[in-house]
Amino acid sequence: MVEKRPDKAYSWEEIFSFDRLKRAMITRTLNRIEEMWQGNEPISPEQISEVINDEWQKVKEAVRSSPAAKEAFRKYLEHTVAEEVNKLVQKGKAELESLGVVERSL
């Protein structure tokens, strides 16, 4: 049995573009498969698919936990929340105006 070395997390430099992401994933997948094989019996297509899928999950997790993803999600949330608040204000605008809310503060 091959002693498994700990997996190194993907760095931001490896995942900030699709080109780099693909290259990093291919390299890591090939390295893992070569470690499994070590000149012994052939690796099955199922084993190869399992390694590829495992690496894909690691890539997605690295992207999700990256600072850029957090910032993109924050921008999405700001936009979504602002749209919902604007809809509510427009829906209740007449009532709020009758209660003294003005368009712009002085």
Q: What is the tens place of the pLDDT at every residue in 35-51?
A: 888 877 788 999 999 99
**Residue 20 near residue 12, CB atoms below 8 Å:** no
Residue 54 identity: D
Q: Per the confidence metrics, is the pTM higher than 0.95?
A: no
- Rounded alpha-carbon distances, angstroms, from residue 70 to 15, 30, 88: 14, 30, 27
Per residue in 45-88, pLDDT (tens digit) is 999 999 999 999 999 999 888 888 889 889 999 999 999 999 99
**Residue showing tokens 């712009």:** 104
Half-sphere exposure of residue 38: CA atoms within 13 angstroms, side-chain side: 6
- In this structure, the chain runs to a length of 106
Q: What is the pLDDT of residue 86?
A: 94
**Residue showing tokens 């608040």:** 85
Q: Which of 21, 19, 1, 2 is nearest to 11 (CA)?
A: 21
